[in-house]
Structure 1
Amino acid sequence: MTSVASEPLSSQKRWIVIYPAYIDKKKTAKQGRKISQILAVENPTSVEIHDVLAAVGFNPLLERTKCYPRDGERDFEVQGRVRVQLKNDDGTAKHEQKTRDEIFKMVAEMIPKLKTRQPGYTAPSVASSSAAAAGKKNKKKK
């Protein structure tokens, strides 16, 4: 079995990991918050982190089934983590954010700007979209 350090930097095993707890304002440093509370955001989700990174130009990998080891609650809403490639195989920075901390701060800064975080936003109803999908299926059968 080879060590992770011997794999190229483009290998997903070498990508940095971002858990929502790293940028959660409600967490303490002891609970896993990695940036200052002033910069942190309340209740981030792994999907929001993934969306922000994808919008900026990263190629993030969302792992929904992973849980933060320090999180005793194991809440489904905050479950998951995102992997991001920080460096190319030759060791150069892949994006202008060169460190983990810069990426954490950038993500925490952009999450409040997401459409889903804006006042007055209502999420599309799951029941109505399911009914619409069922209606489309029925139309195809005719």
Structure 2
Amino acid sequence: MDGGLPNFKRWNIIYPIYINSKKTIAEGRRINASKACENPTCIEIGDCCKHLKIPCAIELDKAYPRDFMQIGRVRVLLKREDGSLYNPAISSKKQLMLQVAEFVPRHPGRVKKQEPASTASASGTSKSGKGGRKKK
């Protein structure tokens, strides 16, 4: 990041819980569950912001205030100092969250993680044998 960026403390903050489809609105989700993604990480959110050409900084030492077990957040900067947008397609924090939630399931690290899980669940469901107790 270049030194010409405005005050870091005034950047928008996105917690992964904001776009997590597994959470309720009461737990902190900010977008529609059908548009949200499953268990995003702040690393994935940061990569998506970089892909969208939006300056971002990942803070792994911070936690979500309502649930301190949710570690990590991403600071993003939507507008330049002159008020122009870094990405003309994204004018608000909500639009950014919707875009990121769309990109996270296609994240390269995520695609690899899901393959072994799907094969393990398929083999775990097949049950052989009768079950029950043996007779004497």
Settle same-fold status: TM greater than 0.5.
yes
Aligned: 1:61 with 2:61: no
Q: CA deviation at 1:50?
A: 0.7
- Aligned partner (choices 99, 106, 109) of residue 113 of structure 1: 106
- Could you say which structure has the larger radius of gyration? 2
Alpha-carbon distance in 2 for matches of 1:22, 1:112: 15
Q: CA deviation at 1:121?
A: 7.0
Aligned: 1:83 with 2:79: no
Question: Runs in 1 of length 4+ with deviation above 2 angstroms?
Answer: 119-122
Give the aligned residue type for 2:75.
R
Partner of 2:86: 94
Give the aligned residue type for 1:64.
L
- Normalising by structure 1, we get a TM-score of 0.72
Aligned: 1:17 with 2:10: no
- Report Cα offsets for 1:46-98 as digits up to 9, x if no partner: 111011111221221000010000115x1xxx410000111111222221201
- Taking the TM superposition and a 5 Å limit, the aligned residue runs for 1:127-142 are none
Q: Which runs of 5+ in 1 are unaligned?
A: 1-8, 123-142
Count of residue pairs the alignment pairs up: 111
Change beyond 3 A, Cα 1:102–1:121: farther
Change beyond 3 A, Cα 1:16–1:121: farther
Q: Which runs of 5+ in 2 are unaligned?
A: 118-136
Alpha-carbon distance in 1 for matches of 2:115, 2:23: 26
Partner of 1:43: 39
Backbone CA RMSD of aligned residues: 2.0
